[in-house]
Structure formats: C-alpha cells, structure tokens
Structure 1
Amino acid sequence: MSSIEQKTVSTIRLLAVDAVSAANSGHPGAPLGLAPAAYAVWQKMKFNPQDTKWINRDRFVLSNGHACALLYSLLVLYGYDLSVEDLKQFRQLNSKTPGHPEATDVPGVEVTTGPLGQGIGNAVGLAIAQNQFAATYNKPDYKLSDSYTYVFLGDGCLMEGISSEVSSLAGHLQLGNLIAFWDDNRISIDGDTAVAFTEDVVARYKAYGWHVLEVAKGDTDLEAISQAVEDAKKVTDKPTLIRLVTTIGFGSLAQGTHGVHGAPLKADDVKQLKTKFGFNPEESFQIPSEVTQHLSESVKKNQDVQAQWNKLFASYKEKYPELGAEIQRRIDGKLPEGWEKTLPTYTTSDKPVATRKLSEIVLEKIHADLPELIGGSADLTPSNLTRTTDAVDFQAPSTGLGDYSGRYIRYGVREHGMGAIMNGIAAFGANYKNYGGTFLNFVSYAAGAVRLSALSHHPVIWVATHDSIGLGEDGPTHQPIETLAHFRATPNISVWRPADGNETSAAYKSAIESTSTPTIIALTRQNLPQLEGSSIEVASKGGYTLIKHEKPDVILVASGSEVSISVDAAKQLESQGIKAGVVSLPDFHTFDKQSLAYRLSVLPDGVPIMSFEVMSTFGWSKYSHEQFGLNRFGASGKGPEIYKFFEFTPEGVAERAAKTVQFYKGREVVSPLNTAF
C-alpha cells in the first residue's frame, strides 16, 4: 500500500470513528475493518458525484447498514453533496446522515439498508435490472450498459434467511455483474460467531453457483483486494463472493471483540488510534489536502468516462432513434404517451370474472406498450396469472430457458427474496415498473421488504391473489384475515382490493403511474360481477358511491368481493323500506388523499355507516361506525359454504345493517372522517 493509499484508508477510518464519537452512538468496528476494501472498490467504480442518477454508474450497496459511517465518509471524501458538517450531525434529528443509510435522504446512497439481508437482496435486483437493460438496448457497436453492482455484507446478513433466497437465485441466473464482499470478522452482537454461525459459507456459495475468492489479510492487503475485484470481473457467468478476512475495530484497543461492534470508542482509544495512523490525536474530522487531491483525480477520471458515455448515447440516438427516444423517456421517468388507453373497461353486460383473471387481462393489454414493465411470481404463475402469452423468461442465455432481455422472472418459492429484489430493480432507475405475484397471505412472508419499499419510496407492485376466505379448501393457513390491516397500517402503501374489472384497471393505473408509493393489489379466485356505476375514473379516487340515495338510512361500505354482496343486501333492505347507499372503498391510501369535501360526499354526516369485509375489522373504524368482518382465523371448506357459515351473505349484511339503522335512530351521527386531526 503506497503512502497516499495508506493515508486515504486511515482518513476513511478516522472520519467514521469521529462521526460515531460525535454522536456517542453508532458502529465503529466494521468501518475500521472494511475501509481498505471500500477504498479499493470505490477506486475501481465508475460514478459521478455530480450526477447521482447516471444510468451506467456502478452501484454500491452496504447490506450491513449499521456500518453506514463508512459509507458517509466515502461520500464526503469523493465529493458528493455531503459535508464534514453533515458527518458531525451523524444520527441527529433531520440530518443527512441518519443511523442507517436511507436512499431518500442521502445523496449517493443507492438503497435503504438496515434490516440485515435486505441489501444483498437489493443488490441482486440491481444486477438483474442492469442485465435486462443491457440485453434490451445494447448493440454490438454501442455498449450503453455495462455497470457492476458491488455489495458489502456481514455475518448477520448471511444468517438471515433472505440472503439464502436471493443468493440461490443469483447463482441460478448467473449474474456475473454482481460482486459481493463478505466481511468475515467472526464477530456479531452476541460475541464470537462460533456461538451460532459455524457453517461453511464458502461451500454454501459454491453450491449456489457463485465464484468464490478469498483475501486473507483484508485489514492491510490493498493489492490483494484490488486483484480480487479484477479476477471477479473476468468471471462473466457467475456472481462472485469475495471472502474478506478482517479484524473488527482494526487498530483500536478493543479490536477483535464484540465490544467495538455497536458502541463508540473510548476517548483514549480514539487518541491512540489517531496517533497510530499518523494523525493529530487532538483534532477530529481531519481530511488531509493530499487525500482530497488524490480522490478528486479519481472523480475527474470518472467524469471523463461519463462524458464519453454521453457522446456514445448521443450517437446511439442518431443511429437507433426509436430505441434512443425510448431510453431517454425511461431515464426521464416518463411513461409512453397514452399507455392508459389500453386498460380494459367493462359494463354490467360483461360476464362475472375473478379479479385475478382481470389482472391477467390488464397485464396482457399493457405489456407490449410498456417496455419498462417487468414481473414474475413466487412459483405461483398458474395461480397468480402473472405471465403474459408473449412473455420471455429472464434467464441466463446458456440455460436455454430464456435470455436476459426477458421480462418475466421465475422467483421460485422465495417471497421475501422476491420483495427485496423488486426493490433493487426499482432502485436501478430506467423507470422499471416491476411486479411480483404470490397469494395475499404470503405477502406477509415478505413484510420486511414491503416495509422498505414504502420507506424507500419504491413503486413496486404486488399481485396478491387468493385474497380471502373465498379461496376455500386450503383453509386458515392460506386465508389472509389480518394481512390487509397490517399493510394498510403501514405508511405510504396503496393496498387495492378491486371489486370488478374497472376497479382492477384503476388499481393498475394507479400502480403504474406511481413514482414513490408501492402497491399491493389483492385479487379474488372467485368470480365477481361487473358493477353498475363503476368506472376507472371514479375508482381512481380510491373510494366512491356506487348506490346513491338523497337521504339514505344507512351506508354500506365495502371492498373487493364484498361490494357485490353489499349491493344485493341493499336490494333486500329496500324491500324492508330501508334506503341503503353502497360505497366501494378499494384503496384507503388513495381515498385518504382526496379532499375532505369529496370524502364527506362519499361518507357524509348524518348517516350511520357499516363496513363489510371478510377480514379483520381493524382499521375500518376510520370510515364506519359499525364493522362486520372476521376477527378470528378462517375455516377449511368450500368458499361459498364458508361465506354462509360466517353469515357473509346478503341476508347477513342486511340483518346487521337494519340493526345499525335501529341503533342510531334519533341520535346525532357524525361521519368518522370528521375528526380534530
């Protein structure tokens, strides 16, 4: 390691230590051990701090996100829109340097990491997206896309089951553009990893189909780390795992122990560390001018690389004007003009159809017009109906099963991994609109990834079929009673449960047009009638009046398969002299964004409102005075029989609606929407 390289690595290490010390909170151990590898990788990466969205940049993912002081130090040193002052505000309220990397807050952070294992999943998604983009648009004389995804991960990431899911798929897909560094420091929070983690990781990854390299002296052997990256790039038909043997807290008095994992170094330890590395022990946040100059030279080279790429792209657009315009449109985050005109519409004369089938029809209609649409299923393609007839599978060309230009991903039985990969695809850029199919109940398997979709503003789409007790014989293990309540309670998620064809089209319109909100579309297995009064336009408001009365005695509000039952219940109530309005509320999130005046026109004052959904009633009190639902697990049997057993029938709804009318008679009724906050 040359003197300037040594000084640069030491600067990275000490900036991270000072940031943690200033906050009196954080993780100094991993940054101290990983700084040489970080420097070696970033010196080889192509990126431009002045253009963080350049489509052909290399991506860096810190899966062990607790080590984010390392990443923030790199961003400062390489000239991103992050300053030393920001480092001094590490982990403070409203700072640009939060406790774990957040892509929405920190320029240069590719994905939000923190929950261990999510980052390696995101990295697989980034690598998939790059391969698909390259296979779609590269030409023999124009290599527009040839970037790599680098990811650092620790033992915690490897212990989490999601890493097995995504790494297995990455090996199968032969993602040669993915290079992972395993920080093998043999320490976790509980102490030595020997207490819980003794598997042969190298053998495991070889079994997945990965190329595996090892660097024995990760603390100091910069040349070996750099060579490992070059060797990894030579293997184009396998992802690479580089086992990097490091010492956690390298150089500190507590090095090699779990005590240096998640706590600031003591003041005397910081001083001796700075002295050891040749820095002034009395100063903090030191950046030698020669380090700044050294790294600025790397940045300048990369900016020249991007300038050459810009010229290449300009020439590409002249030779391939249609493809060039399409790429530019996608980079600009725009959808094709008029794409929504292909969405199917329905009238009451159309036959009843399951909404999962209606979803398939939408995908068939829009697939050709949206080259950015890419999707798959967690080994449930025949049940989710997520694959269009002209789809090509995304597969390694050598397998003969498809190619990298394919837009259908066979995720296998890996819901959690699928969710993290979808987030990575969304993070790549190029306006990818990507979806994943499974049963609604098993979106819960992916809850960690779904939560990060919402937190990170990734507009991914979950095609969640078999949405209720209506799926029948599979029984309570497959019947999602609490799932909608869970995800509706999560901030920044649209949870659509369409009641017919027009509402299904509206759900997809909302999902495709979203730029910052993920969508879950809950779909039935059983057939549903096309509703009179529904349309894409009214459904796009998230909630609307389906049956209107001048002065209703009661309003029934429902979603999905329960809307048509509510319509039938309203007819029964009419024969009893009770005027029942019916409201369809397919998406709480979208409805809540409408004006209060509109929402009160749908759910007004002066009328008792009863909700009906064959799920947990939790959350419905925001929209109704009384709730009819299922606050226990379901039952095993034929769907129609289960509906009858729980009295989820027009008669059962009408009976409870009549009781609601009687209970509120003579009382002042204020809409649940009218609250102080």
Structure 2
Amino acid sequence: MSNIDIKSINTVRVLSADGIEKAKSGHPGLPLGSAPIAYELFAHHMKHNPKNPDWANRDRFILSAGHGSMLLYSLFHLFQYGDLSLEDLKQFRQLGSKTPGHPEYGHTVGVEATTGPLGAGMGMAVGMAMAEAHMASVFNEDGFDIVDHYTYVLGGDGCMMEGISSEAFSLAGTLGLSKLIVFYDSNGISIEGSTDIAFTENVVERMKAFGFQTIEVEDGNDIEAIGKAIKEAKADKERPSFIKVNTIIGYGAGKKAGSAASHGEPLGSEALRDLKTGFGFDPDESFKVDDDVYENFKSINEKNKKIEDEWNKLFKEYIDKYPDKAKLWEKYYSDIDESLIETDEFWSWDENKAATRNISGSIINRLKDLYPNLIGGSADLSPSNKTVMNDEGYIKRGDYSGRNIHFGVRELAMTAITNGILLHGGLRAYCATFFVFSDYTKPMARLSALMNIPTIFVFTHDSIGVGEDGPTHEPVEQLAMLRSLPNFNTFRPADAKETVAAWYAALVSKKTPTAIVLTRQNLPQLSGSTKEALKGGYIIKEASKATPDMILIASGSEVSLAVDAADELENEGVATRVVSMPCMDVFEKQSKEYKDKILPNTVRNRVAIEALSGFGWDKYTGLDGRVISMNSFGASAPQDLLFKKFGFTKENVVATAKEVLNQ
C-alpha cells in the first residue's frame, strides 16, 4: 500500500466528514469505514472514464447503501466526474445542489442508479449484470468482446436484511451472472445499535446457498487484500461473487468509531478533530485536498482514458468487419423509431371479443419483430400475463441470448432488475404480474418514476373480474395507488385500440414509466375507440345533442358498460356522452381547451364507473356527480355475479344517472 493511496483514502474520508458536518445532516459512518473499498475499486480495478461517464463498456458501480452518498461525491470530485467541485461538496443536502442526501440518477454525473431504499441497488445491479450478459451474447464476436464489463455494488447490513436483496441474489446465482461483484460492508452496526439485536444469520453461508463465490476480507483497511479479493472474484467465470469486508463504522472518529453514534448524524466538532488529527490533517482546515492527491487521481484518469481509447479502436475494427452488427448496435442505442408503430397494421385487431391481456400478448409479439432490443418477463405468471415473446428463448445460465426472463415469484426484485436493465442502456424492458401484486412492485416502480426511466409494467387481472380467486386477488386500491405516483402513467384500456395506444405510449415514452392494466375477461371491441386514447381521455360515444344532459366516464371493462347505459338513457330522452378515461395521468397533461371540450364545466351531471376504488374520481365528477366504485375488498364468486352484486350493471348505472339528474 503506497503512501499516496493511504493519503487519497483519508482525503475521501475527511471530505465526506466535512460535507456532512457542514450540512449538519448525513451519515458519516459508511464513508469512513468503506473508503478503502471504494478507492481500491475505482483506482485500480474499474474501467471508467470521468470525461466520458456514459461510455458503453464502462464498469458500473452502484452504492446500494445510498445514505453513504458523501463517499460517492468525494470520489466524484477527486476523479472530476462532471466537474463536481469542492463548492458542490460544501452544498451537500442543500436545495438545488448536485449533492443530494441520497444519490440520484440523472442529477449527479457518475451516479448509475437512484438509491435510498436499502437493497434497491442490489436488485438494480443484478439487472445491469443481466443486461451486460445479454448484450454480450448479441454483439460479441470472436476476438471482439465489445460488451465486456463488470457490475459492482456496495451495500451494508441493512441492504442484506431487506428481502429484495435475497430475491435478487437468488436469481443472480441461478443465472450464474459471473460479472456481478457484490461488496458487503460488514460493520455490525445499524441505527438502533449492534445488528445482533435482529440479524444473527451467517450471511456468507446464505450467499453460498444462492450460488455465489464468497470471499472474506478480514481488515477493511487492507487495500491489498481488497484488491486480491476483486481479482479472485473476476477469475470465477461461473458464479457471481460476494466479498464480505469487515469494516469499522466511523473509522477514525474517536469515541464514535464502531458505534451507532457515527451512523446517521454528523460527527460533531470533537470527533471530527480526532478524525483529522489521526489522519494527519489540520483540524482547523475544512475541504482541504493536497496537490499530490489531485495528481494521483489525474494519473488514474489518464490510465483509464487509455483503456477506453483501446476499446474505441477495437470497436472501429468491429464495425468495419461486422457492418450489420454496427447497424444493430445503433438501433439498440437509439430512441424508439415511432414510424414502425404508426402503421394501420399495428393498430388493427380482427377479433370481436377478447381480454385485453390477450390483446397485449399479441402486441408484444408484433413489437418483438420491430424492436430487437425489447426484453422482459413475468413473476412466474407469463402464461396468465400473456407476456412471452414467441420463439425468442429465455435467459438462462450459460446462454443469455434469450429475450424472455423467468423472474420467479419475486415481484419486488423483478422491478428493480427491470430498472437495472434499462439503466444499463441499449435495451427496453418490461415486467409483469397480477395487478393486485403491484403492491409488491410499488417501491421500485417509485424509483422508476424518480429516475425518469421508461420502465413498462404489464398488470393483468385488473378488477373484481378476477372472480373466484376472491378478495385476496381482486385489486381495489391499486389503481389509485399508481395514479398517485408523480411521473407515472397508468393506462387501463377498454378494448384493442386502447391497448395498442397504451403500448404505443409506453414505448415512445423517454422519461416516464407506464403501467398497462389489463382484463382477464373478454371485452367487446368498441366502435367509438380511436387513437384519441393517446390523450388519456376522449369522447368514445357522443350525445344526441351538442350539450349533453349527462356525462358517463369510465375506464377499462366499465367503458362498454357505460356505452350500454348511455344507449338506454338516450332511449329515455337523456342526451348522454360517454368519456373513456384510459389514463388520467396523460389526460391531466392535455391543454385546458381540450379538457374543457371533453368534460365541459357546463355539464355538471356526471357519473364515473370503475370496478375499483373510487378514490380520485371526484375531480371529474365534482360535488354534483356520483361514482360507482368498490368500497370493499370484493368476494369470491363468478365475475358476472360479482359485477351484479357490487352494482356494475346497466340498470344501476342508468338508475344512478337518473338520481343525479333529479337531485
């Protein structure tokens, strides 16, 4: 271990502690304990070029323990990622700064994934490693390993306690993702004290059971041992690797070292002085970086630039030798070609009645031929979700060329993995499960929205139409939950044309995830459905006069019910407009003029119909309107009986509309 390595590590530690102290907020424990791990990895083992942080063949690093963000920011400053300055470090956790409390993808250059919920980074790392393996199977040729990089992730005891890490690592071991290397910062401390109060399992044995190579580093300050462990991990070509590094939380911080007191609060002036003095820094100086430290990081950058230059040379030879692969590469890394799905053929559907899940399955199989970089799967429900791409194979150990993914019964990890596939770059990804189990996907769907990545969710069995499976499987509140997410579009289509619109919107989206919520039961194809569904809400059946007496609003399977009720009301002399609302989120983004045209303020007689919770519909029905919705969890019975029991019938819609008219 050279003196400059030691000095560089300690500079990372002190910068991290200074940033947290100035903010009067943060988590110094992890940066102080894990700085040697991160430095050794970034300085001597990772392929990365801060001047080109989006280089396709870079190694990826995710800080799953996102509370230790100052570790990343200190490294990014020293490596000059995005010209992150000392002033930026001084603005840690402040409004509008480049250094928020937890790493945010797309906000700070160099951050590969938004982390905060513990364990989330572990799942996304598995997705990145899966993407690397698949892309390598598509593009690499003899002598041209143009996709050849590792995914590294660092987490702590909390990440290992969270169930998502077990879900994700179980799949990673099953698939033999050998270019995934996990660092476990094992310091035995959590917020409440020693981890022994709630966490006594043998984590290494657990990881062995998952199929990982396991390596242990006894002293977290021994960068030679850390480096040896990384080399050993890379040497295993059959298994992912798990490196347990025994560290001391808050290392160097006087009496606070090794205790929960250094986990989630600034060190305080006394412990900070102890830290600086012990590491040979002036205790009266803050945010100090010596020139020789900057020179060390500069020399590392120069070495890494040469590695990228060598890859660029190889890539040029590759595209000259394999021009067809070069065109395919360009297609993978370009925005979706919208012209491919703007054809009459793509929008057409022949069958009269069909479940929207079946229609979605047909659409997926149209899309797979148009977009070779589409990849996805289901949480062990693909026959029910209709999400299999025919004749495309499955990703499996030793053969990662398939485009279908067996996620297993792991909805939470599935979503994190799908996010990771998207974050890797080059691929468009979807995942699927029953709608009621979207509860399990929610934390990672929230991260999809927060990261501005267009993850696609296919949720089937969308209402009490699930029927005999009963209330445990009948989604009620889930649609309201997803609609409440910022930057998240939730489509519940009524027929084939609206299902096509949902997929179209999902594919062309660049920064917003999309959920497509689909029926199990067959639905009629509605004569009034159009591409206007892309606006989120539109008139699917117009009233018999310019200013309607009544507006019925519905989504999904209830739109055809609304149309039937409108026919009955028209027969009784009530001019009734039907508005299909497949996506409230998109409708809200339309111009005021358009929204007023669809739902004019002059028509206050309104009834909304949806076989789920009515939460949120009042913004369209107003004080004078009514909502026919679910106010319970449902029941176990054939779907027709359930729709009748809970009032989703033509007769009840007509009666409710009359009550509104006569109030």
Which bin holds the TM-score, normalised by the shorter protein?
over 0.9
Match of 1:528 among 514, 519, 523: 523
After TM superposition, give the deviation of residue 334 of structure 1 in Å.
Answer: 4.3
Equivalent position amino acid for 2:174 in 1: H
Equivalent position of 1:30 in the other structure: 30
Tell me the SS of whatever aligns to 2:579: strand
CA contact (8 A) 1:343 1:365 kept: no
Structure-2 separation of matches of 1:662 and 1:336:
48
CA contact (8 A) 2:340 2:370 kept: no
Tell me the SS of whatever aligns to 1:146: coil
Equivalent position of 2:246 in the other structure: 245
Structure-2 separation of matches of 1:598 and 1:514:
21
After TM superposition, give the deviation of residue 350 of structure 1 in Å.
Answer: 3.4
Equivalent position amino acid for 2:261 in 1: G
1:424 equivalent to 2:424? Answer no
After TM superposition, give the deviation of residue 103 of structure 1 in Å.
Answer: 0.6
1:442 equivalent to 2:443? Answer no
Q: Trace 1:217-616 onto structure 2 (pairs within 5 A).
A: 217-218=219-220, 220-253=221-254, 254-335=256-337, 337-341=339-343, 344-346=346-348, 350-397=351-398, 403-430=399-426, 432-535=427-530, 537-549=531-543, 550-607=546-603, 608-616=605-613
Q: Trace 1:25-174 onto structure 2 (pairs within 5 A).
A: 25-43=25-43, 44-81=45-82, 82-174=84-176
After TM superposition, give the deviation of residue 166 of structure 1 in Å.
Answer: 0.3
Structure-2 separation of matches of 1:222 and 1:310:
31
After TM superposition, give the deviation of residue 343 of structure 1 in Å.
Answer: 6.1
CA contact (8 A) 2:86 2:287 kept: yes
Tell me the SS of whatever aligns to 2:181: strand
Equivalent position of 2:661 in the other structure: 661
Computed over aligned residues only, the root mean square deviation of the Cα atoms, in angstroms, reads: 1.2
After TM superposition, give the deviation of residue 346 of structure 1 in Å.
Answer: 4.1
Deviations 1:5-63 (A, max 9, x none): 00000001001000000101000011000000000110211111122211111100000
Equivalent position of 1:620 in the other structure: 617
Equivalent position of 2:10 in the other structure: 10
Structure-2 separation of matches of 1:225 and 1:433:
35
Structure-2 separation of matches of 1:224 and 1:201:
20
After TM superposition, give the deviation of residue 592 of structure 1 in Å.
Answer: 1.3
CA contact (8 A) 2:336 2:507 kept: no
Equivalent position amino acid for 2:619 in 1: K
Structure-1 separation of matches of 2:521 and 2:302:
60
Structure-2 separation of matches of 1:285 and 1:272:
16
Distance 1:343 1:367, change over 3 A: farther
CA contact (8 A) 1:344 1:502 kept: no
Equivalent position amino acid for 1:515 in 2: K
Structure-2 separation of matches of 1:83 and 1:571:
66
Structure-2 separation of matches of 1:507 and 1:228:
47
User: Which deviates the most, 323-332 or 244-253?
Assistant: 323-332
Tell me the SS of whatever aligns to 1:365: helix
After TM superposition, give the deviation of residue 581 of structure 1 in Å.
Answer: 0.4
Equivalent position amino acid for 2:448 in 1: S
CA contact (8 A) 2:119 2:158 kept: yes
CA contact (8 A) 2:377 2:406 kept: yes
Equivalent position amino acid for 1:382 in 2: P
CA contact (8 A) 1:635 1:642 kept: yes
Tell me the SS of whatever aligns to 1:615: strand
After TM superposition, give the deviation of residue 336 of structure 1 in Å.
Answer: 7.0
Structure-2 separation of matches of 1:604 and 1:141:
65
Structure-2 separation of matches of 1:623 and 1:407:
41
After TM superposition, give the deviation of residue 471 of structure 1 in Å.
Answer: 1.0
CA contact (8 A) 1:55 1:331 kept: no
After TM superposition, give the deviation of residue 141 of structure 1 in Å.
Answer: 2.2
Tell me the SS of whatever aligns to 1:391: coil
Structure-2 separation of matches of 1:221 and 1:463:
47
CA contact (8 A) 2:462 2:518 kept: yes
Equivalent position amino acid for 2:188 in 1: R
Deviations 1:277-296 (A, max 9, x none): 11111111111111111111
Deviations 1:428-474 (A, max 9, x none): 011x2111110001011121111111111121111100000001000
CA contact (8 A) 1:346 1:530 kept: no
User: Which deviates the most, 45-54 or 73-82?
Assistant: 45-54
After TM superposition, give the deviation of residue 332 of structure 1 in Å.
Answer: 3.6
Structure-2 separation of matches of 1:388 and 1:338:
18
CA contact (8 A) 2:31 2:68 kept: yes
Equivalent position amino acid for 2:224 in 1: E
TM-score normalised to the size of structure 1? 0.95
Tell me the SS of whatever aligns to 2:81: coil
- Length, aligned pairs only: 654
Tell me the SS of whatever aligns to 1:212: strand
Distance 1:336 1:131, change over 3 A: farther
Deviations 1:295-318 (A, max 9, x none): 111111111221222222222222
Unmatched runs of 5 consecutive residues or more in structure 1? 398-402, 664-677
CA contact (8 A) 1:439 1:465 kept: yes
Equivalent position of 1:673 in the other structure: none
Unmatched runs of 5 consecutive residues or more in structure 2? none
After TM superposition, give the deviation of residue 391 of structure 1 in Å.
Answer: 1.9
After TM superposition, give the deviation of residue 331 of structure 1 in Å.
Answer: 2.4
Equivalent position of 2:20 in the other structure: 20
CA contact (8 A) 1:342 1:365 kept: no
Tell me the SS of whatever aligns to 1:344: helix
After TM superposition, give the deviation of residue 326 of structure 1 in Å.
Answer: 2.1
Equivalent position amino acid for 1:232 in 2: A
Deviations 1:79-117 (A, max 9, x none): 112111110000011111000000121110000000001
Equivalent position amino acid for 1:111 in 2: A
Distance 1:645 1:93, change over 3 A: same
Distance 1:342 1:329, change over 3 A: farther
